Amino acid sequence: VFSERVLTYLVSIGVSREEAYDNIQKIANEVFEKPDNNFKKCLKSNYFIRKYISEEDIDKLFDEQYFLRNVDYIYKRVGLIK
């Protein structure tokens, strides 16, 4: 979920989709291969990522509320809440 958000952010600031994808995929694979790794920490320590995204902005990209922002609207539309 978060890798897509980071990818979209990089593309929005002018990084080519291919370059962004390749770099994020490498980081994600590192995390997958070593379960004690943390994706967010790996992003923060990666030179390519930090060249474009500040530590503060990485934290913002990992805010779960972004993904929950429309929950009430959706629940209202399907009649689960009034």
pLDDT tens per residue across span 40-58: 999 999 999 999 999 999 9
Q: What's this model's pTM, rounded to 2 decimal places?
A: 0.81
Average pLDDT over residues 16-24: 97
Burial class (CB in 10 A: 0-12, 13-18, 19+), 28: middle
Residue 33: left if φ>0, alpha if ψ -120 to 50, beta else—which one? alpha
Average pLDDT over residues 5-16: 97
